[in-house]
Amino acid sequence: MFGHLPFHGGAMPEQSWITSLLDRHGIRYEILTHANAYTAQQLAHGEHIKGRRVAKVVIVYADGGALMLVLPATHRVSIGRVKEILGDEEVHLGSENDMRRLFPDCEVGAEPPLLHAKAIPIWLDPAMRSPKQIVFPAGNHREAIRIPFEAWFNLARPRVESFAVEPGRMPPKPAETF
């Protein structure tokens, strides 16, 4: 499916707020349907897309506030780097319950790199930048959305920070990468 989609009948409830947001901003999108994918890497494999083009969302907390980190499926968050950037000793990963609270209308593990109700800062790792497209979960494990990267960037307005590492490129430190 391509373009601006009507929601009567066909749209999954999890994706309706996402496609509504894209429609409101005049962003052209494609909905991709696949077998259940519970990780961003599985989504990439199921859609035959390079993992660096598929965005995954990780929530961390610092000073009690949530922060959305967006990185390629092929990378991991370095909590050490996030601490360095923030100058904060207290940084920890959000839990599944946190994800349910922040994204009540999404399946856990299928959160898109967009905000719908809660205003929390979004960070993008430069490894996710692309001159082409970005693919991300549509709020459920069976669908993904593909849009032009620049359209997503202009909509999400993320802060660009280097917080991710690619496994195999740098040895991960225990309890430092997720």
Q: Please, which pLDDT band fits residue 14 given cuts at 50, 70 and 90?
A: low
Stretch (H or E) spanning 121: none
Q: What is the pLDDT of residue 88?
A: 72
Q: How far is CA 58 from CA 29, 53, 109, 140, 169, in A?
A: 23, 16, 9, 16, 20
Q: Please, which pLDDT band fits residue 48 given cuts at 50, 70 and 90?
A: confident
Domain count, the chain: 1
- The boundaries of the domain holding residue 53 are 13-165
Q: Is the pLDDT at 5 greater than 60, yes or no? A: no
Domain-embedded: residue 6? no
Q: Please, which pLDDT band fits residue 8 given cuts at 50, 70 and 90?
A: very low
- In one-letter notation, the amino acid at residue 88 is D
Q: Is the pLDDT at 178 greater than 70, yes or no? A: no
Q: How far is CA 151 from CA 90, 97, 121, 124, 130, in A?
A: 33, 30, 18, 14, 11
3-state SS record for 103-131: CCCCCCCCCCCCCCCCCCCEEECHHHCCC
Domain-embedded: residue 2? no
> Is the Cβ–Cβ distance between 137 and 62 less than 8 Å?
no
Structure tokens that stand for 19 in this block? 């496609």
Domain-embedded: residue 45? yes
CATH code of the domain in which 86 resides? 3.90.960.10
Domain-embedded: residue 157? yes
Q: Please, which pLDDT band fits residue 137 given cuts at 50, 70 and 90?
A: very high
Domain-embedded: residue 30? yes
Q: Please, which pLDDT band fits residue 3 given cuts at 50, 70 and 90?
A: very low
